[in-house]
A = this chain, B = another copy of it.
């Protein structure tokens, strides 16, 4: 199997995507043919060979010497005056955050009819914006925490008692996120969040909440679940700490949970996944509060594809690649135009 890992992107998580891609190289290179396509911040695409997959290649700008790629039907290509090289295979969309998770890359690959692992357009939109995730979860019968929305152009207080957690509406990871314990800290935390998004959501911050992460994907007729992990955390995961996830390769420790709770977490995962995330391997992060399950967030392109939660990660990627959804193309017959033309007598 030829897998093309697409990473980078015009995103606040650009660097993290590079870390994720080098991690996946390690996890997958003995099991399949890997090619890498780097999307820089200007949306130029470069062909990167596996041997060059080091963080320094990108931070030093060295990648700019590599072959540039353009998109064509079913492939990436490098067209020169008298030669053309082509890159065929299934793409793994590993662009975290903007571009990758907001629906842009999904659309691009759909348009050029390139098969890919990753969320489709609707799935991207509903997981990228935290407000839309809540609407979607509600429609699927999955609980989320109560929240309010603040906009950059209007000063507002929160209706919740402190502590609260403030998050930019449209960023993944923990960028711009703060826990606020007093009114004095509130404005500063808002300013930080508004650096990244003009819409911010505020939720009550509940101490000592149990958090569980569960990943999964649909292949060969059913959803395959990963182990359930209780992530190690300080008060909440800050940018740097959380991002170490993107370089994780060692197997996680399975959470100690009774069968009933395992079943309930999986049921909630399934309610979110089915008829929406097919084609993607996603990680859902849940809270358990007073024995109730709440969805915290959906990661439709989790850091390093949550490889550490799967017993046989290469096999998971292969199974998923064999079960990608097809987009139905309409037929165009020009019958309607013919009938108008006939009606007009010409």
User: Residue A15 contacts which of B12, B42, B240, B337 (CB distance < 8 angstroms)?
Assistant: B337
A234 nearest CB across to chain B (Å): 18
A32 contacts partner chain B, Cβ-Cβ < 8 Å: no
Residues of B with C-beta under 8 A to A136: 135
Interface-lining segment among A104-112, A280-288, A302-310: A104-112
What are 16 A-B contacts with C-beta separation under 8 Å?
A11-B330, A15-B335, A16-B336, A18-B337, A41-B329, A43-B113, A55-B337, A56-B341, A58-B334, A59-B334, A104-B110, A108-B108, A131-B139, A135-B135, A135-B139, A240-B336
A254 contacts partner chain B, Cβ-Cβ < 8 Å: no
Q: In the complex, A58→B335 CA distance in Å?
A: 12
A248 contacts partner chain B, Cβ-Cβ < 8 Å: no
User: Residue A98 contacts which of B41, B330, B334 (CB distance < 8 angstroms)?
Assistant: B330
Apart from A41-B329, A107-B121, A122-B129, list 15 A-B contacts with CB within 8 A: A10-B330, A15-B335, A18-B337, A41-B330, A59-B334, A59-B337, A70-B72, A98-B330, A103-B121, A104-B107, A107-B108, A107-B111, A108-B111, A135-B138, A243-B336
A338 contacts partner chain B, Cβ-Cβ < 8 Å: yes
Identity of the chain B residue whose Cβ is nearest the Cβ of A197 in the assembled complex: B328
A230 nearest CB across to chain B (Å): 26
Q: Which residues does A use to contact B, with CB under 8 Å?
A: 10-12, 14-16, 18-19, 41-44, 55-56, 58-59, 70-73, 79, 81, 98-99, 102-108, 110-113, 121-122, 125-126, 129, 131-132, 135-136, 138-139, 151, 199, 240, 243, 275, 329-332, 334-341
| Binding site secondary structure of chain A | helix
Report the copy number of this chain in the oligomer: 2
Q: In the complex, A122→B104 CA distance in Å?
A: 11
Contact status B113-A121, CB under 8 Å: no
Residues of B with C-beta under 8 A to A113: 43
Q: In the complex, A81→B82 CA distance in Å?
A: 9
Q: In the complex, A41→B328 CA distance in Å?
A: 12
Q: In the complex, A199→B56 CA distance in Å?
A: 48
Identity of the chain B residue whose Cβ is nearest the Cβ of A247 in the assembled complex: B340
Q: In the complex, A340→B54 CA distance in Å?
A: 12
**Residue of A106, A111, A138 with most chain B CB atoms under a 10 A cut-off:** A111
Contact status A42-B102, CB under 8 Å: no
Contact status B338-A111, CB under 8 Å: no
Identity of the chain B residue whose Cβ is nearest the Cβ of A343 in the assembled complex: B240
Identity of the chain B residue whose Cβ is nearest the Cβ of A56 in the assembled complex: B341
Residues of B with C-beta under 8 A to A331: 41
Q: Which 8 pairs show the lowest CB-CB distances between chains A and B? A: A107-B107, A59-B334, A104-B107, A15-B336, A125-B125, A55-B337, A14-B332, A59-B337
Contact status B332-A41, CB under 8 Å: yes
Contact status B112-A107, CB under 8 Å: no
Contact status A329-B10, CB under 8 Å: yes
Residues of B with C-beta under 8 A to A11: 330
A12 nearest CB across to chain B (Å): 5
A100 nearest CB across to chain B (Å): 11
